[in-house]
């Protein structure tokens, strides 16, 4: 048994305002059975000062890194809790009971699943929307998991998984998708119908906002599908064309409709799948 039930990994780079919000939401939790590891990529704003003055951070790493997933791996390397949650700078818990409720659900679960995940709450133009497993899929969430990924910031992942798998640091955007593909068929998932986090929609993996990011997103999706669907080289390259076109069309739609309205439409579409 670990010294902590949870390890929370918070990565940050030049996001001092977001970091303050994240640290405050962690500090406010009624359950304090957690270890907080903060990884900062040598920020040039006030982040280092905030980290050094915080009294809730168990371990801190302040140094250059090779991106999001390299930073996550560094944090995981310092994690001592049974279940690990990645709560990025800017993301906050929805209320003070999140860790308490999650811990209770995990302890009460007789099957001891490897990964527990819940709902992400997103605020768009003063409207609140939830990213959750649709009602029609609640009877068989295993089937839903086959074709969808949990929101990373709502997933409590047992430490044993990270002993076998880390994130591929060479992915800039879809390292979490790559990770889900690795573990889906090897570990058990359980959906908790709990609101876990206010998700920061500004993250690069939410909705790429530039042509460069869109091309990178398409390239990484192309790599993941080629790796895990075991397609022939010819089929992989053939499928790269519709992937690229799909993401270029999505970028154009975001420019025309606006990022927030586009996200609401996308969320509605995915919830009906």
Domain map (residue ranges) of the chain: 4-198, 211-271
Average of pLDDT values for 211-217? 78
> Can you read off the two tokens belonging to residue 2?
């670990």
* C-alpha to C-alpha distances, 59 to 30, 127, 185, nearest whole angstrom: 21, 36, 32
Residue 236: per-residue pLDDT: 63
**Residue 15: CB atoms within 10 Å:** 20
Average of pLDDT values for 219-237? 69
Average pLDDT for the chain:
85
For residue 231, what is the DSSP state? Answer: -
CA angle, 214 then 220 then 221, to 5°: 90
Kindly give the interhelix angle for 233-257 and 211-228, rounded to the nearest 10 degrees: 150
pTM of the model: 0.84
Measure the N-to-C terminal CA separation of the chain; round to a whole number of Å.
40
Instruction: Output the CATH code of domain 4-198.
Output: 3.90.550.10
Residue 205: per-residue pLDDT: 47
Contact 91, 22 (CB under 8 A): yes
* C-alpha to C-alpha distances, 37 to 93, 101, 202, 241, nearest whole angstrom: 16, 21, 22, 41
Tell me the pLDDT tens digit for each residue of 37-55.
999 999 999 999 999 999 9
Contacts 24+ apart (CB under 8 A), 237-244: 243/218, 244/215, 244/218
Lowest mean pLDDT among 90-99, 106-115, 254-263: 254-263
Strand partners, 139: none
Contact 93, 24 (CB under 8 A): no
> Can you read off the two tokens belonging to residue 146?
């086959």
Residue 178: per-residue pLDDT: 93
CA angle, 117 then 148 then 208, to 5°: 100
CA distance 38 to 75: 7
pLDDT at 91 over 90: yes
Residue 210: per-residue pLDDT: 72
* C-alpha to C-alpha distances, 4 to 58, 74, 79, 141, nearest whole angstrom: 11, 18, 9, 28
Tokens 């819940």 correspond to 118
Question: What sections of 109-168 are H helices per DSSP?
Answer: 141-147, 159-164
Residue 233: per-residue pLDDT: 59
* C-alpha to C-alpha distances, 146 to 103, 134, 164, 180, 205, nearest whole angstrom: 25, 14, 21, 10, 20
Residue 237: per-residue pLDDT: 64
Burial of residue 167 (number of CB atoms within 10 Å: 0-12, 13-18, 19+): buried
Average of pLDDT values for 186-193? 93
Average of pLDDT values for 67-76? 96
pLDDT at 204 over 50: no
């Amino acid at each position: 048994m670990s010294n902590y039930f949870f390890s929370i990994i918070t990565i940050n780079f030049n996001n001092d305002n977001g970091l303050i919000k994240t640290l405050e939401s962690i500090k406010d939790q009624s359950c304090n059975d957690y270890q907080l590891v903060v990884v900062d990529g040598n920020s040039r704003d006030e982040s280092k000062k905030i980290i050094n003055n915080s009294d809730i951070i168990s371990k801190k790493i302040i140094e250059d890194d090779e991106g999001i997933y390299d930073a996550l791996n560094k944090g995981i390397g310092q994690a001592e809790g049974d279940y690990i949650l990645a709560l990025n700078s800017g993301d906050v818990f929805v209320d003070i009971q999140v860790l308490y409720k999650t811990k209770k659900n995990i302890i009460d679960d007789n099957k001891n699943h490897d990964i527990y995940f819940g709902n992400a709450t997103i605020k768009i133009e003063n409207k609140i929307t939830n990213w959750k497993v649709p009602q029609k899929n609640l009877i068989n969430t295993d089937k839903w998991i086959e074709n969808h990924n949990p929101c990373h910031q709502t997933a409590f992942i047992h430490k044993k998984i990270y002993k076998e798998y880390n994130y591929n640091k060479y992915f800039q955007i879809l390292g979490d998708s790559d990770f889900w593909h690795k573990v889906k068929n090897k570990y058990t998932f359980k959906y908790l119908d709990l609101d876990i986090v206010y998700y920061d929609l500004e993250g690069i993996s939410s909705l790429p906002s530039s042509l460069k990011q869109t091309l990178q997103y398409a390239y990484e999706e192309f790599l993941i599908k080629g790796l895990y669907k075991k397609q022939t080289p010819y089929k992989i390259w053939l499928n790269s064309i519709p992937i690229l076109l799909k993401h270029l069309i999505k970028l154009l739609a975001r420019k025309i409709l606006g990022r927030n309205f586009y996200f609401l439409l996308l969320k509605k579409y995915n919830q009906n799948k």
